[in-house]
Amino acid sequence: MPEQPQEPQPSSSRRGAIAFAVAMVAVIAVAAAVLLGGDDDASPTAAAGCEAVDAPEPKSVDLPAPKAKRPTATKVVFDTSCGGFTVTLDAERAPKTAASFEYLAAEGAFDDTTFHRIAPGFVIQGGDPAGDGTGGPGYSVREQPPAGLSYTRGLVAMAKTGADPPGTSGS
């Protein structure tokens, strides 16, 4: 997964999925920062307003790539031990990535996963079936980032591993 969001370069089709991925993670990061608080040392179960839960076991997900090239929904709702949040899918600017996000949510790929990286004020990363940032869905998506995308508070992105080529995203 990328360690730092990078400015998208509209001339490079390989940076598409990364840009959208970073954006999606950022939205989740903002939601978690609000829900979990800003203490680096606090576990999610220790945060005020969170339900105490056992850490889920790592799991393996090996799904075929989604057939849809555009999402059918506009929103995906997430329920966490610290409350819920809704992700709005951008089918116009990132149709393949949005369709993949919707598909993974519908297939339960994000169910019983954790936020494995919490950097208060910057980003949270979650939804990895392995629970540590090394897992994935069994396929990847490649898509150019939306032109002029700014990484502002509230954006959500799909992530990639450091070994994946630019413009690639997984879960």
More confident residue, 74 or 22: 74
pLDDT at 23 over 50: no
- List the one residue out of 106, 118, 155, 113 whose CA is nearest residue 136: 113
Query: pLDDT digits over 64-111, tens only?
Result: 999 999 999 999 998 999 899 999 999 998 899 999 999 999 999 999
Residue 69: predicted pLDDT:
92
* 26/11 Cα distance (integer angstroms): 23
CATH class of the region 13-39+62-162: mainly beta
Q: Are 145 and 3 in contact (CB under 8 A)?
A: no
Taking a C-beta distance cutoff of 8 angstroms, is the pair 157, 89 a contact? no
Whole-model pTM: value is 0.69
pLDDT band (50, 70, 90) for residue 59? very high
Cα distances (angstroms) measured from residue 120 to each of 68, 81, 102, 115: 35, 18, 26, 12
Chain mean pLDDT for the chain: 75
Residue pair 21/101 in contact (Cβ under 8 Å)? The answer is: no
What pLDDT, in 10s, does the model give residues 48-57? 788 999 989 9
Q: What is the pLDDT of residue 106?
A: 93
164 pLDDT exceeds 50? yes
Q: Which of 155, 153, 136 is nearest to 94 (CA)?
A: 155
Which of 147, 127, 130, 137 has the alpha carbon at shortest distance from 168? 137
Which of 17-31, 104-118, 136-150 is predicted most confidently?
104-118
Residue 125 contacts residue 51 (beta carbons within 8 Å): no
Q: Per-domain residue ranges for the chain?
A: 13-39+62-162
